[in-house]
A and B are shown apart, each in its own frame.
Chain A
Amino acid sequence: MHKIILAGESSLLIYFGNKIDPSLPRNIANFANQLKKHFSESIINLTPSYTSLLVNYDLNKTNYQQFKTQVSELLEQFSFEQAEQISKVIHIPVNYGFEVALDLEKLLAEKELTIDEFIHIHTSQTYQVYAIGFSPVFAFLGQVDEQIQAPRLATPRIKIPAGSVGIADRQTAIYPVDSSGGWNIVGRTVLDLSLNDPKNLDKFKIGDEVRFYSISRDEFIRYGGRE
């Protein structure tokens, strides 16, 4: 079930499974905490993702063989069922208006849905943070309801405005800063998720839950949203 492989001269990668599974992110986050507790002296960095955890360790304190053995022993003792609950729920206000939802009109036509039906589907799901990456504060959220899933755009946009909410296959995410990207843009949040506010770095953690709620164009503008 678990597998530990070499990742670099001072890093190893732990696989917790071989396919995306809603039970994995929280288990990986919990195991990461266990690792920190047991090997605080030798661990430098942890990078969790959908099914894996990259661990950078201090070569001055341990070596590959020794550390791999220790991690593997801890994995054997670790009880995934009894893992502590550590996640939080984050609520994200979104304006789904066509002025900011650049791909929504096209998507509604393809899916034969009304905008209200779409908003209902996107906001009634509780999403889980599966990974953080691409750029800081960019949280990959799953799983999007099959009725509104959509493949990435054939040609990525050069500039997607900060705050845009996108869908790619069965994932949804918010772009924290202006960036290029190929996700279908279905709305925009008023929240500033950029590192202009350094606290945003801890906004999302693997295993956290996220819910979107709809706000009107007026509310969006009143709270400082940019069109």
Chain B
Amino acid sequence: MSFKVIKPGFLTTVQDYGRLTHGEQGLAQSGVMDEHAYAWGNYLLGNHYFDAALEITFGSVELEALDDMLICVCGADLDFKINHQAVDIWKSIQIQQGNRLSWHLPRHGIRAYLAVQGGFETQKLFNSRSVNLREHIGSKITQDEVLVCQASIDLLDRFIAPNYIPNYHQEVVLRLLPSYQYSEFSDDQKTLFFSQSYTISHANDRTGCRLKGVPIAIKKDKMISEGMSYGSVEIASDGLPIILLKDAPTIGGYSKIGTVFSLDLAQLAQQQSGAKVRFELMTIHQAQKERLAFNQFFGVGANSKSLKI
């Protein structure tokens, strides 16, 4: 089963749940930017939670199906069409050999996920199919490339209840755990951080998201480098936050005011520069409760021997 790439788009890469076990070797986590949309794509196809999908950023992509397949598109509305006909997303779709799948422009969110039953079968590197351009691991899809995937086995007809489809247009609230150097920031610094509405800058990619706003005055900017969790929020020398995302380096030496809850980062992954975000405090208890419910619903981490050291 496979697709042929007619138009590769701006930034289209194969991603899965990530390269989770290689921190000792300096390898980034990598993996999908929007875990929520990706999880639904695999779920609706009856896939394993870490089956690889295509992450399409902004669109301008066209693929030709070389076989009949069961697919699902979730995440951003990039004006998805099959043979020039608009098609609903967030549902399983049976496609035929010769069908042309295309994504045009971002209308709602910026990252769409093409999941296929059984997942994409690109080369696994260090236990994951996730491409990380910063680390020179894998590459963007290219014109005329053939993307191989598993053979579809079932004829499922599944869709998401409309009220579960996220609204990417609403103001993003990033709930923050008081982690790392949180207690070293003064009350005034915290008040400034939590009370303002930040703007996503142009410096926002799979590595990190730099925010614009009123700078926080900081005393010491550099500290001894330490391991950085997905979603940790560095306050750089200029007093502005950088949220570290999937392709971020494993260690770094700026003070971190906290860590954003992973499922809120899924919302952030759908925002363009210019969008507004603000932060709100969250307890570890609440974060673990919500994430555990997500894991259990989508089977994340279940029977996952391959994720263990």
B26 touches A195 (CB 8 A): no
Chain B residue numbers with a CB within 8 Å of A47 are: 23-24, 227, 250-251
Would A132 and B136 be within 8 Å (CB), given that A8-B179, A60-B302 are in contact? no
Interface with B: A75-83, A134-142, A143-151, A153-161, which one? A134-142
Can you list, as one digit per residue, whether each of B240-262 has a CB less than 8 Å from chain A (1) or not (0)?
00000000011110000001011
Closest to B21 in A: A45
- Tell whether, in the assembled complex, residue B26 and residue A51 are in contact, meaning their CB atoms are under 8 Å apart: no
A20 contacts B by Cβ under 8 Å? yes
Are B309 and A59 touching (Cβ within 8 A)?
A: no
Asked if B228 contacts A54 (CB within 8 A), the reply is yes
State how many residues of chain A have any CB contact under 8 Å with chain B.
49
Contact status B227-A8, CB under 8 Å: no
Instruction: Judge if A36 is at the interface, Cβ distance under 8 Å.
Output: yes
Residues from chain B with a CB closer than 8 A to the CB of A110 are none
Q: Which residues of B contact A6 (CB under 8 A)?
A: 177-180, 259, 284
What is the chain B residue whose CB lies nearest that of A206? B24
B residues within 8 A CB of A20? 224
Binds A, one of B3-11, B54-62, B191-199, B286-294: B286-294
Contact call A138/B24, Cβ cutoff below 8 A: no
Cβ-based interface call for B186 (8 A): no
Residues of B with C-beta under 8 A to A8:
177, 179, 229-232, 259
**A13, B26: Cβ atoms under 8 Å?**
no
Docked pose: A3 CA to B134 CA in angstroms: 32
**Separation of A140 and B224 alpha carbons in the complex (Å):** 12
The residue that B24 contacts in the complex, of A5, A132, A177, with Cβ under 8 A, is: A132
Residue A7 at the chain B interface, CB threshold 8 Å: yes
B190 contacts the other chain (CB 8 A): no
CB-defined contacts of B202 to chain A, threshold 8 Å: none
A50 CB contact (under 8 Å) in B224, B250, B284, B295: B224
CA distance A176 to B201 in the complex (A): 31
Would you call A56 an interface residue if the criterion is a C-beta within 8 Å of the partner chain's C-beta atoms? yes
User: What residues make up the interface of A, taking CB atoms closer than 8 Å to B?
Assistant: 5-11, 13, 19-20, 32, 36, 40-41, 43-54, 56, 58-60, 63-64, 131-138, 140, 177, 194-195, 198, 201-202, 205-206
What is B's interface to A at a CB cutoff of 8 Å?
20-27, 29, 125-126, 134-137, 177-180, 224-232, 249-252, 259, 261-262, 284-285, 287-288, 291-292, 295-296, 300-302, 307-309
